[in-house]
Amino acid sequence: MDFTTLSRMQFGVTIGFHYLFALSTLGLTVYILFFESLYLKKGEIEYRRISDFLIRLLAIIFVFGVATGFMMPFAFGGNWSRFANFAGPVFGLQLVFESITSFALEAIALGILIFGRDKVSKKIFWLSALLVFLGSHLSAFWIVSANSWMQTPAGYAVVDGRVVLAGFWEAIFNPTTVIRFLHVIVATWIAGTFLAAGISAYHLLKHSHEELFRRLLRISIMPMVILTIIQILTGHAHLLKLIEHYPEKDAAYEGIFHTVKGAPLYALGIPDAAGETIHFAFGLPYMLSFLETGSFTSEVKGLDEFPRDLWPPVNVIFTTFHLMVLFGVAMLLIGAVGGYLKIKKKLFTQRWYFIVLLYAIPLPYLANELGWVGTEMGRQPWVIYGLLRTENASTISLPASQVAISLSFIAVFYLFLSVIFLRKFIGVIKTGPAGADREV
């Protein structure tokens, strides 16, 4: 395998692994801030117990997230040095803002959350929860902004063979930053609700800390439904942006090979890029045209409008995109059933539903990973859309053998880290919160 392919694989492994911790962090910080706010306002110790328990989980996730995050700047400079040199003046700037404004805030304030409960007032503790929430979300903003700039670059000029910053705000708020940030954030919050609901379900099945985990589950159900619906809308809005700014990627997501009036919306199917068709296609006729323009008979641009060598890898991204949507629908159904049970006041009497919630914990994680695989592979053959092709972004001075060594080592090492993380994380979940439940 060549250097570029190995480097892509390594980047996929390292970012995919790191992202699992990043998205868990974001989801948990919302819960912690919520319960700390309730504790500050109402003073009920049960809210503090839930929050303390979630902080213990966050502490483990954060350590793994920070540690695995070290790998990313290494990859930009080591494997993708021509990209780093070409795009440093814009992309590097966004990383500086990320590290200064958000990582610092998050990492330092987290010390108070984990170690400062009995050293500060309730207000200062609440403020720390707010800062960790803001820091982690701001961090996500800068990273999504940098990634969006690679998808839909703006606010730049190319001078002497490299990028120069021509408009700061245009680069930061490039055409897809805001909608992609919303889509990513909502995805992490959904993962948070499924994690909280799944942990609650585990304890309710075991009859441990039932009062406390009933609260946590009750609070999680409606956001599961509402956020999943919002997510469908942000996803749709993102696709509309793509039609405007990156139409070939949208065509690949939807499996539209030929420009057509009254395009169907495929729900399932096996894509065949070579044959330029979708086998066993199942979908709604005319619906894609309607969703994209409001008219059932309007024209939708197909991949045939673009040179073949600029097509994204259709088979992969059609599949990952549709699997992501499928998982999203499954999450919506699970949330909706919970909402129905809650309204009917049967939420805590249906053990089968607890089992569903427990096994549904990985669903949003899978959907997130699939979404990112689709979006990153969907940018191929570009690293920066329209500006720098992947084959021209990788390092030329390094032999492929060095990346083969590093990739093999990282794969084994991350497998080991996964095992020790899960052992510790599940151990804390099983132990549950400190103290005994109170009758409320």
Ranges within 32-51 binding other proteins (CB under 8 A): 45, 48-49
Closest CA relative to residue 180, chosen from 235, 250, 243, 260: 235
The contacts found for 411-420 with CB under 8 angstroms, 24 or more apart, are 411/13, 414/13, 414/14, 414/17, 414/68, 417/17, 417/64, 417/68, 418/17
Of 9, 13, 40, 66, which lies in the binding site for other proteins, with binding defined by CB under 8 A? 66
Strand partners, 299: 261
Rounded Cα gap, residues 1 and 404, in angstroms: 9
# residues near other proteins by CB under 8 A:
73
Q: Give the contact letters, 384-423, x = binds to other proteins (CB under 8 A), - = no.
A: -----------x-xx---x--xx--x---x---x--x---
Whichever of 79 and 151 has its CB closer to other proteins, that residue is: 79
3-state helix, strand, coil in the chain (%, to 5): 75, 10, 20
Closest CA relative to residue 192, chosen from 21, 419, 346: 21
Which CA distances in Å does 98 have to 80, 106, 167, 298, 342?
Answer: 20, 11, 18, 42, 40
Contact between 303 and other proteins (CB under 8 A)?
no
CB of 384 to other proteins, least distance (A): 14
- Looking at residues 76 to 105 of the shown chain, list those that interact with other proteins (rule: CB under 8 A): 76-79, 81-82, 84-85, 87-90, 92-93, 95-101, 103-105
Burial 178-195 (b: 16+ CB within 10 A, else e): bbbbbbbbbbbbbbbbbb
Whichever of 24 and 79 has its CB closer to other proteins, that residue is: 79
CB of 143 to other proteins, least distance (A): 12
**Contact by Cβ (8 Å): 107, 49:** no
Tokens of 57: 């989980």
Contact between 60 and other proteins (CB under 8 A)?
yes
Whichever of 355 and 422 has its CB closer to other proteins, that residue is: 422
Whichever of 66 and 281 has its CB closer to other proteins, that residue is: 66
Contact between 70 and other proteins (CB under 8 A)?
yes
CB of 70 to other proteins, least distance (A): 5
Rounded Cα gap, residues 67 and 17, in angstroms: 11
CB of 9 to other proteins, least distance (A): 15
Amino acid at 391: E
Tell me the window of 60-68, 180-188, 208-216, 256-264 that interacts with other proteins (CB under 8 A).
60-68
Of 22, 28, 50, 112, which lies in the binding site for other proteins, with binding defined by CB under 8 A? 112
Residue located via tokens 């003073």: 43
Instruction: Give the three-state DSSP class for 195.
Output: helix
**Sign, CA torsion 220/221/223/224:** positive
Whichever of 282 and 416 has its CB closer to other proteins, that residue is: 416
Contact between 277 and other proteins (CB under 8 A)?
no
- Looking at residues 327 to 356 of the shown chain, list those that interact with other proteins (rule: CB under 8 A): none
Count CA within 13 A, CB hemisphere, residue 300. Answer: 35
Contact between 323 and other proteins (CB under 8 A)?
no
Whichever of 90 and 227 has its CB closer to other proteins, that residue is: 90
Whichever of 138 and 281 has its CB closer to other proteins, that residue is: 138
Of 33, 50, 55, 71, which lies in the binding site for other proteins, with binding defined by CB under 8 A? 71
- Looking at residues 127 to 166 of the shown chain, list those that interact with other proteins (rule: CB under 8 A): 159, 162, 164-165
- Looking at residues 166 to 195 of the shown chain, list those that interact with other proteins (rule: CB under 8 A): 168
Amino acid at 390: T
Tell me the window of 112-120, 207-215, 309-317, 368-376 that interacts with other proteins (CB under 8 A).
112-120
